[in-house]
Amino acid sequence: MPTKNDATGKPLPVEYNGDTYLVPPTEEWDLNVLEAIDDNKLTTALRALLGDEQYATFRKTNTKVKALGEFMDVAGKAVGAGNF
């Protein structure tokens, strides 16, 4: 069921650690994101969610596991995906 954040179908800005990332609404997520989450492969999920360019930006300033978990939580809330 689509969330209110899915209504436009446009990527939503997610602010994290001084950078803004565009994250697609959950209805537009590639199945690779969900499969990686199901398999507990969070770096693979993040790369699939953000794409190579945004993932590279994330990796430049976020080098700890804690940042990965925090970003996924922030992004999930922003697009109405709930907990990962």
pLDDT tens sequence across 25-39:
988 989 999 999 999
Query: Whole-angstrom Cα distance, residue 80 to residue 57?
Result: 23
pLDDT of residue 7: 58
pLDDT score of 1: 40
C-beta contacts of 39-44 below 8 A and 24+ residues apart? 42/68, 42/69, 42/72, 42/84, 43/68
* Predicted confidence (pLDDT) per residue in 1-58, tens digit: 444 545 577 899 999 999 999 999 988 989 999 999 999 999 999 999 999 999 999 9
Does this model's pTM top 0.85? My answer is no
Q: What is the mean pLDDT of residues 57-78?
A: 93
What does the pLDDT average to over 47-76?
Answer: 94
